[in-house]
Structure 1
Amino acid sequence: MEQKRNKFSNWLRNSITARMLVVGLLLLVLLIPLQFVKELIQERALRQQEVINETNDKWGNEVVFSGPIIKIPYKTIKEETVFNKVNKTYSKLVTEPVKYAYFFPEKLHIDTKVQSKELNRSIYESVVFTADMNISGNFPLIDFSGSDIPSEKILWEKATLLIKTSNLKGIRNTLEIGLDSEKLQMTPQYDKEYLNTIQSTPITTFKDINTKPIPFSFTITINGSDHLHFIPIGKETTAIMNSDWHSPSFNGRFLPEDGSRDINADGFSASWKVLQINRQFEQSFFGYLPDLSEFAFGTKLIIPVDEYQKSERTAKYGFMVIGLTLLVFLLIQLVSKIHIHPFQYVMIGLALVMFYTLLISISEHSSFFKSYAIAGASVLALITIYSRAILKGFKFPLLVCTSLASLYGFIYVIIQLESYALLVGSIGLFAILAIVMFASRKIDWGNES
Structure 2
Amino acid sequence: MGKEKEMQMKALWWKLVILGGVTLMLLFVLLRIGWLVDERQNRQRAAEAGVAAAQAGPQVLLGPMVQRSCTEEWESVSGTGKDLTKTPERRDFVLSAVPTELKVDGALNQEQRERGLFKVNGYAGEVTLQAQWASLGALTPVAEHKGEVSCEDPRVMFAVSDARGLRAVNVKRGAQALQVRPGTRHDSYAHGFHASLPDQAVDQPLTLSFAINLVGMTDFGIVPAASVTQVKLRSNWPHPSFGGRFLPMSKTISERGFEAQWQVTELATTAPRDLLAGFSLPGVERDPDAGRAYAPNPVPGREQASGIVADTLAFSMIDPVNPYVMSDRAIKYGLMFIVLTFVSVGLLELLSRRRVHPVQYLLVGLAMTLFFLLLLSLSEHLSFALSYALAAGAAIGLLTFYGAAMLGTALRGLGFGALVAVLYGALFILLNLEKASLVVGASLLFAVLAAVMTLTRRIDWYALNGRTAERPEEEPIGSW
TM normalised by structure 1 equals 0.85
The Cα shift of 1:53 comes to 3.0
| Counterpart secondary structure, 2:465 | coil
1:131 aligns with 2:125: yes
Could you give the per-residue CA deviations for residues 393-441 of structure 1, whole angstroms, max 9, x where no partner exists? Answer: 2343233112111111111111121332222221111111111222233
The Cα shift of 1:20 comes to 2.5
Q: Which amino acid aligns with 1:233?
A: A
Tell me if structure 2 keeps the 8 A contact 1:180–1:214.
no
In structure 2, what is the equivalent of residue 28 of structure 1? 24
Q: Which amino acid aligns with 2:425?
A: G
In structure 2, what is the equivalent of residue 221 of structure 1? 213
1:38 aligns with 2:17: no
Call closer, same or farther: CA 1:197–1:134 in 2, change over 3 Å: closer
Distance 1:7 1:149 in 2: 106
In structure 1, what is the equivalent of residue 198 of structure 2? 204
In structure 2, what is the equivalent of residue 66 of structure 1? 62
In structure 2, what is the equivalent of residue 236 of structure 1? 228
1:373 aligns with 2:368: no
Call closer, same or farther: CA 1:113–1:395 in 2, change over 3 Å: closer
Call closer, same or farther: CA 1:57–1:192 in 2, change over 3 Å: farther
Q: 1:185 aligns with which of 180, 188, 194?
A: 180
1:275 aligns with 2:292: no
| Counterpart secondary structure, 2:381 | coil
- Of stretches 434-443 and 215-224 in structure 1, the one that deviates more from structure 2 is 434-443
In structure 1, what is the equivalent of residue 344 of structure 2? 328
In structure 2, what is the equivalent of residue 86 of structure 1? none
Distance 1:19 1:284 in 2: 69
| Counterpart secondary structure, 2:321 | coil
Distance 1:284 1:362 in 2: 48
The Cα shift of 1:126 comes to 1.9
Distance 2:41 2:348 in 1: 39
Distance 1:10 1:393 in 2: 25
Distance 1:361 1:115 in 2: 29
Call closer, same or farther: CA 1:284–1:330 in 2, change over 3 Å: closer
- Which of structures 1 and 2 has the larger relative contact order (alpha carbons within 8 angstroms, sep 6+)? 1
| Counterpart secondary structure, 1:293 | coil
| Counterpart secondary structure, 2:259 | strand
Could you give the per-residue CA deviations for residues 244-288 of structure 1, whole angstroms, max 9, x where no partner exists? Answer: 22222222122222xx422222222222222111212556987x5
1:265 aligns with 2:252: no
The Cα shift of 1:155 comes to 3.3
5+ long unaligned stretches in structure 1: 1-5, 83-88
Q: Which amino acid aligns with 2:264?
A: V
Tell me if structure 2 keeps the 8 A contact 1:60–1:170.
yes
- Of stretches 406-415 and 265-274 in structure 1, the one that deviates more from structure 2 is 265-274
Distance 1:274 1:70 in 2: 20
Tell me if structure 2 keeps the 8 A contact 1:189–1:198.
yes
Q: Which amino acid aligns with 2:47?
A: V
In structure 2, what is the equivalent of residue 3 of structure 1? none
Could you give the per-residue CA deviations for residues 106-154 of structure 1, whole angstroms, max 9, x where no partner exists? Answer: 1211121222222233332222111312222222323259996448654
Could you give the per-residue CA deviations for residues 180-233 of structure 1, whole angstroms, max 9, x where no partner exists? Answer: 8572432225888576242334x3313xx2222112122111111112211111
1:440 aligns with 2:429: no
Call closer, same or farther: CA 1:100–1:441 in 2, change over 3 Å: same
Tell me if structure 1 keeps the 8 A contact 2:242–2:316.
yes
Aligned residues, how many? Answer: 429
**Percent of aligned positions with the same letter in both sequences?**
26
Tell me if structure 2 keeps the 8 A contact 1:71–1:160.
yes
Tell me if structure 1 keeps the 8 A contact 2:139–2:202.
no
In structure 1, what is the equivalent of residue 91 of structure 2? 97
Q: 2:167 aligns with which of 166, 172, 176?
A: 172
- Of stretches 95-104 and 407-416 in structure 1, the one that deviates more from structure 2 is 95-104
Tell me if structure 2 keeps the 8 A contact 1:334–1:443.
no
| Counterpart secondary structure, 1:137 | strand
| Counterpart secondary structure, 1:256 | coil
Could you give the per-residue CA deviations for residues 24-48 of structure 1, whole angstroms, max 9, x where no partner exists? Answer: 2221221111111111122222222
The Cα shift of 1:323 comes to 0.8
5+ long unaligned stretches in structure 2: 281-307, 467-480
Tell me if structure 2 keeps the 8 A contact 1:157–1:204.
no
Could you give the per-residue CA deviations for residues 66-119 of structure 1, whole angstroms, max 9, x where no partner exists? Answer: 122112233468999x9xxxxxx9x99773231222211112111212222222
In structure 1, what is the equivalent of residue 288 of structure 2? none
Distance 1:289 1:261 in 2: 32
Q: Please report the RMSD computed on the Cα atoms of aligned residues, expressed in angstroms.
A: 3.3
| Counterpart secondary structure, 1:155 | strand
1:422 aligns with 2:438: yes
Distance 1:337 1:283 in 2: 78
Distance 1:307 1:285 in 2: 40
Tell me if structure 2 keeps the 8 A contact 1:166–1:195.
no
Distance 1:97 1:229 in 2: 36
